[in-house]
Amino acid sequence: MKDYPRLENNKHLKSNPFTVPDAYFKNLREGLQNIPLEHPQTKVRFLENRYLRMFAFAATLVLAFTIGWFSQGTPSENDDLNNENIIALTEGGYLHYSDYDVLMVLDDQEIEALINSQENGNTDYLETTQPDLVEDYYLTLENI
Amino acid sequence: MHAEIIALLQQNKTEPAFNLIVKSYSQKVYWHVRRLVLDHDDADDVVQNTFIKIWKGLPNFRQDSAIYTWIYRIATNEALSFLRSKKENTRFEDVEYSLSQNLEADAFFDGDAAQQTLQAAIATLPEKQRAVFNLRYFEEMSYAEMSAVFDTSEGALKASYHHAVKKIEAFLHTH
């Protein structure tokens, strides 16, 4: 039978085989004693987790992108809502007129013209009701 | 030392009390943790986390228990939690055994073959039994103190230690 060391009262096996770098315990003590000074008791450990850090970074990017996206090209509340702004907003898809809104600002003659234009397959209301205005508009464009 | 720390805590002098704890126990805590996690860098991380928890818990420390066993309880829990998280993040099934096998190449391990085999044998124990064995065998902590550390009866700890010794001796016999 192989002779094997007994555990109890074996000074060699009980001795410490591990070592540490030079001056480790001095540095450890100094580092630990600075914990209260550097980190108050309410130390937030939320962002110590790598995945939470990545999530926070991604969420910040999405938030910044979203704010940028919705703020670009829309007039602020202080801008005058003149005709040009309304046209720009309508063309940009920011404003939508319902049939009710259109009918409320038209007189009977204009409504009749509008209905006739749609029946004739012409969907451009201005072209039907005010062709001169449309022509003037196109003449002001430089590329034409 | 315990009385001095308690006196500082009773005067709400938390920071001097903490500094005294660091001065008195940092080295002991390090060796206890090192014997559980084996690697120096891992032990360093665990010790720092342990003392952060001690600092945070100090205002709520129940002064009817010994600060010595309270500190060991935190350190043991931190080390075992670290080993569990390391197991979850590694492909090796037996982290402790692979760590013990790496000791030969470890710059901070001066043990001979017998001591290395002993560490490999200890690594085969279940984690709590390993902590019980280390505290009793290397640090010669009394069962009464260990009972406070592990919140387990002295009888159960004696049985656990006895089984650990038998397992380790059997391992040494076959390796």
**What is the tens place of the pLDDT at every residue in A120-135?**
665 566 666 677 777 7
Query: In B, which residues are within 8 Å of A32 by CB distance?
Result: 22, 26, 47-48, 51
- What tokens does B122 get? 């200890």
- Which residues does chain A have within 8 Å of residue B173's beta carbon, measured at their own beta carbons? 2, 4
Contacts of B110 (CB under 8 A, 6+ apart): A17, A18, A19
Are A17 and B35 an interchain contact pair (Cβ–Cβ within 8 Å)? no
User: Cβ B114–A5 below 8 Å, yes or no?
Assistant: yes
Element (H, E) at B49: helix B40-57
Write the pLDDT tens digit of every residue in A18-54: 999 999 999 999 998 887 655 554 444 555 567 777 7
Among B108, B113, B83, B112, smallest CA distance to B98 is for B83
pTM, 2 dp: 0.64
- Of B26, B35, B109, nearest to A32 by CB-CB distance is B26
Q: For residue range B61-101, what is the model confidence (pLDDT) as tens digits?
A: 877 778 999 999 999 999 999 999 988 877 656 666 677 67
Burial class (CB in 10 A: 0-12, 13-18, 19+), B72: buried
